[in-house]
Structure 1
């Protein structure tokens, strides 16, 4: 391939050695039909110049990108619905490449991410690329529907300002898959995601389960130096504080976006605080604290409002691993920072979603409480996403909201309390309201009926128009909201 000057390979995970991964080969697929390529993400790592044929060669047949050592299936354990499983790892995916983001992408990110003159280290990881030593009898494949769903979810999460991995590539692979939880046979695909890190809480759990303090020390230094360089060498409690802060921010952004991950196991949370590896995700249709995404989550362990609790529980498991190399006291102190950090981040997230500036902690908390109260009172009639869309910008959007399709819902004492709290905050970047997106009556949402309709068009008549139309709509919303790039 013609190498762009912006392409900078930097494979660092192999430095950890053979205790942490296994070399693997990709499956050989009967066909490779390109269905989605994320050129905006590719431009951040110098790969936007690939032709479609080159793209398929690298992300469908997994010919090595320059300077990359070859695929690695990562080893990890995990609590799955709080039952420990020592028999998991990358069972249908691998780390395909690691590379640095280009300087332009680094400078475009929020200053709150901290300076990084070299650009962040990013991973290209796969899903559905074939069997590995950790497949446990599975076929190592991904359904096309599952790949399509991840593209849609990751795109909307980025649009709404949630830290997330991004769907980088989706290629249909021409196999008929049998699945017990959906109509079969069903079409197959291989997905590639771009993420800041694939090091999971479960990566630490495996080392602790083996009783290997040396592996924990190696992981701490690896993660600290590459992803949290503000932490001093050897400072395991400091690293935990950084992961706690990132996880609190992630949890708050999920809540503000009305997002339900579905499967918050310790192998599905990573050290950089990004959404990734979500399975049966959903976005809330309306305020419902007990809303679950997974049909098999029969007790609501990972319900919408319980997600911060689930993330904190997982952080305690990570802290337990770090006890092999650090005293319990400082680790407990780091964990205790989650609750206050989460509340702070939730206020910030709601201000962001409503497009207004902070008016001080008390006023910001009042707005958070008033927004939730209005959503609660509105019930099924007031959908989650439209409220934030209608009132984005605060006072500057009052005429738009009160003349829109939900005008009849905006009345009464609870609404007046919300409006008073909102109007106490100045509009953040009011020029954003000039975007044509805000002239429309409805926001971009991603409720389950729409997802199923998009898949139905693909599955029955191979019509990808609803899929591409939806992505175009989400791109318009991303530009209109102008939330800082966090992924």
Structure 2
């Protein structure tokens, strides 16, 4: 991802209308006792021409949800199904969020502004439709860190505290409430296609396929649009899975309703960054079987994409879909190499595979942290004073010697820091405790600034396929 997106003028859109009334239901936002602006992402806002909004106008649009001129006249709660921990659930959809607006960036790419915590919808079931303030703070930290590490992620656009007290079973209650807005490249999910297939709605499947290809991928449908779309999703999600591994990130809930068809990471719940390269590390306390553990994320995402293939089956024979699915492992391996070399600050060379295997083995056998390793070896040469002389690193030391640094690999002052920027659970809790106990937002804002500085040091990300 580009750390400094190109500024844009405001260009509203309503492309989702082409899928109505079958993709969502018009809804209204909740009325909140208060709207206190806690976070506005002016960097993301500049990319869609909204950075010039006053705080008053910002709260009107992103706290009280007055429509953005020229975009959707009323929010839409989107309909979808999904496999949740491999169990099919037809009773889901946007239960505490909605699609608020669509607009375009400087390159003309269609983007969505969606919410979390904006109130009850027809899909809320027994939920209150609200978001904890802590959940909003955690999403800021996740998206900022992932963006800095080159992951194709949604952006946390806005956090507004709402003055409500929420009761939750899995954290101390009552707890403060917020409404969040995220900027992302579509909220159309694998689960959107699953719902159409479940209802045997071939016409909607065809419309969803056309929408994804023409509006989201800017492609002209060819002879086999379903296989064409599946191929793009396979490419993007294989890259997504690799980007999680290189970032040391565990999403936690890789259900098919949490995978969108542009392969962009979004919808952060019980996420964690693993301190060590530990394949069994899990993020969600309820993931008892480790289905979405650090080392199983590629498997989980590939399985979800297979559900998209199943959903597209009413439109096309199985063979071309299977052929696209079978590309995933090789594409994942290629993305791992490309992204690992990018974070390490070295040119990929002819075959980085053995070097990467040696690096992972070194981290595992010596207990070296992921962030520590990449910080110390950025540019392919160990940082002065870094201790990597023991036998556990011998193979890696020999392998990395054959890789050239990217130009200016260690020019940024960040690389002289003794300690790498990281985002482990202890720091997340400390940032939240300062807000919860003392209403002190300074640590959060300071951390965002530190993360963005690290992002500047890495430079533009490796991009997506």
TM surpasses 0.5: yes
Alpha-carbon distance in 1 for matches of 2:282, 2:361: 21
Assess, with a 3 A threshold, how the Cα gap between structure 1 residues 302 and 331 changes in structure 2: closer, same or farther. Answer: same
Assess, with a 3 A threshold, how the Cα gap between structure 1 residues 5 and 378 changes in structure 2: closer, same or farther. Answer: closer
Q: Which residue of 2 aligns with 1:415?
A: 393
Alpha-carbon distance in 1 for matches of 2:114, 2:205: 23
Contact 2:117–2:180 (Cα < 8 Å) also in 1? yes
Q: Secondary structure at the match of 2:233?
A: helix
1:280-322 alpha-carbon deviations (Å, 9 max, x no partner): 0000111211000000000000000000000011011100000
Contact 2:210–2:221 (Cα < 8 Å) also in 1? no
Contact 1:231–1:238 (Cα < 8 Å) also in 2? no
The alignment's C-alpha RMSD in Å is 1.3
Assess, with a 3 A threshold, how the Cα gap between structure 1 residues 263 and 5 changes in structure 2: closer, same or farther. Answer: closer
Contact 2:98–2:115 (Cα < 8 Å) also in 1? yes
Q: Which residue of 1 aligns with 2:375?
A: 389
1:14-48 alpha-carbon deviations (Å, 9 max, x no partner): 21111110000000100011111100110010000
Alpha-carbon distance in 2 for matches of 1:183, 1:64: 35
Q: Which residue of 2 aligns with 1:484?
A: 461
Runs of 4+ more than 4 Å apart: none
1:15-26 map, 5 Å: 15-26=18-29
Q: Secondary structure at the match of 1:302?
A: coil
1:192-231 map, 5 Å: 192-230=181-219
Assess, with a 3 A threshold, how the Cα gap between structure 1 residues 486 and 28 changes in structure 2: closer, same or farther. Answer: farther
Q: Which runs of 5+ in 2 are unaligned?
A: 1-6
1:238 aligns with 2:241: no
Contact 1:24–1:72 (Cα < 8 Å) also in 2? yes
1:469 aligns with 2:432: no
Contact 1:200–1:270 (Cα < 8 Å) also in 2? yes
TM-score, normalization by structure 2: 0.96
Q: Which residue of 2 aligns with 1:330?
A: 320
Q: Which residue of 2 aligns with 1:173?
A: 162
1:8 aligns with 2:14: no
1:222-256 alpha-carbon deviations (Å, 9 max, x no partner): 00101223463451111101100000000000000
Q: Secondary structure at the match of 1:445?
A: coil
Q: Which runs of 5+ in 1 are unaligned?
A: 107-118
Alpha-carbon distance in 2 for matches of 1:440, 1:229: 42
Q: Which residue of 1 aligns with 2:83?
A: 79
1:324-363 map, 5 Å: 324-361=314-351
Report the alpha carbon displacement of residue 484 of structure 1 after superposing the two structures with TM: 2.5
Report the alpha carbon displacement of residue 486 of structure 1 after superposing the two structures with TM: 5.0
Alpha-carbon distance in 1 for matches of 2:463, 2:258: 18
Alpha-carbon distance in 2 for matches of 1:272, 1:177: 33
Report the alpha carbon displacement of residue 359 of structure 1 after superposing the two structures with TM: 1.1
Decide which of 364, 367, 370 is 1:376's aligned counterpart.
364
Report the alpha carbon displacement of residue 483 of structure 1 after superposing the two structures with TM: 2.9
1:438-453 map, 5 Å: 438-453=415-430
Contact 1:231–1:239 (Cα < 8 Å) also in 2? no
TM-score, normalization by structure 1: 0.92
Contact 1:27–1:129 (Cα < 8 Å) also in 2? yes
1:91 aligns with 2:95: yes
Alpha-carbon distance in 2 for matches of 1:450, 1:5: 34
Q: Which residue of 2 aligns with 1:112?
A: none
Assess, with a 3 A threshold, how the Cα gap between structure 1 residues 359 and 448 changes in structure 2: closer, same or farther. Answer: same
Q: Which residue of 1 aligns with 2:241?
A: 251
Report the alpha carbon displacement of residue 429 of structure 1 after superposing the two structures with TM: 2.2
1:150 aligns with 2:139: yes
Decide which of 110, 122, 137 is 1:133's aligned counterpart.
122
Decide which of 251, 259, 264 is 1:274's aligned counterpart.
264
Q: Which residue of 1 aligns with 2:405?
A: 427
